[in-house]
Structure 1
Amino acid sequence: MRKLQALTMFLIQATGLPRSVFNAYVDSGDLIPTGKEMGNGFEVARFRYEASIDVYQYPGDGHHLLALVMAWLVERDTDREQQGLPDPKLVVAMLDADSADVEIAVSFEEPIELVADPAGRIPYAGKMWSVTDVPVDVADAVHGMDGQAVDGGHNG
């Protein structure tokens, strides 16, 4: 639910509205087992969920709020199309000429990753694990990439 939290914090900061006018929650979700080995840990599952962000007594331009949501999704949730996630939906209840209650319904998909950790709280396969992003090792150098064939290489 990191994406939901991140989008909500972005909206709070971008609108300048107090945290008290926002309510973000998960409506429902599916847990999809993966068991994907990732070197320094593994992805145990993917969590695909429907979330809502309620903005109470929103005083601003509705298009501004919608543009903020879409800008965040396009820039920070780049796998949406590949994951087959639907476009966000919106419900607006006008309170008066200057304010409305707005419900933004949005779907997300996120990995649930585990890293071995003696102080972790998840027992699995004889070890203790923590839920966190699996660190990715980045190569400092690449050898054998100078255009020359190496043992086992293909020579035409």
Structure 2
Amino acid sequence: MKKLTALKNYLIQLQVVTPEKLVAYPENNRIDIISKPGEKGLEISQVTYDAIFEMDQVKVSYTALVAIISAWLAEQDTARNNQAVGQPQFDYDPTDNHTADIQLSIEFCEPVYLVETEHGPINYDHQRYDTGDYDLWVAETGEVTDGSTR
């Protein structure tokens, strides 16, 4: 839920909403088992979830809110165009001429990595793992040879 946490912190940092007026949580969590090995571990799954943001007394305009969310997604969730995730949705309920209550729902997809550790709590394929992050390097080009030298 790194994306949920990052967007929550960003909204607070921009003072779109105060921390006590913002609740963020995941709903409709779905797991897709992948088990793709990497150099330091493996990507065991992808978790897709709806990030729900309930905000009271938001002081930015409707247009500003759309722009802030759109810009953050364009910069921070660049993989979403390659993922089968839905578009953000929100309810905008003006409470007076200057504030609104908002419920925002954004579908996110995030990898879950296992990193090999000697005493990790997760046993998978006769290895011990812990959850963690690592860069998964994928070759863009390559050459296949038969191993002989000429």
Residue of structure 1 equivalent to 2:143: none
1:48 aligns with 2:48: yes
| Runs of 4 or more consecutive aligned structure 1 residues displaced over 6 Å after TM superposition | none
Aligned-residue RMSD, C-alpha: 1.9
Task: Report the residue type matching 2:13 in the other structure.
Answer: Q
Task: Report the residue type matching 2:77 in the other structure.
Answer: D
Please give the alpha-carbon distance, in whole angstroms, between the structure 2 residues aligned to 1:27 and 1:12. Answer: 21
1:98-151 Cα distance to aligned partner (Å, 9 max, x none): 2111011100000000001124222223332111112457xxxxxxxxxxxxx7
Contact map agreement 2:118 2:128 (CA 8 A) in 1: yes
| Range 86-95 or range 40-49, more displaced | 86-95
Contact map agreement 2:56 2:101 (CA 8 A) in 1: yes
Flag structure 2 segments of 5+ consecutive residues without an equivalent: 138-147
TM-score, normalised by the number of residues in structure 1: 0.81
Flag structure 1 segments of 5+ consecutive residues without an equivalent: 138-150
| Range 23-32 or range 116-125, more displaced | 116-125
Shift in alpha-carbon separation, 1:18–1:87, aligned structure 2, 3 A? same
Residue of structure 1 equivalent to 2:145: none
TM-score, normalised by the number of residues in structure 2: 0.84
Larger Rg: 1
Counterparts of 1:1-150 in structure 2, within 5 Å, are 1-15=1-15, 17-135=17-135
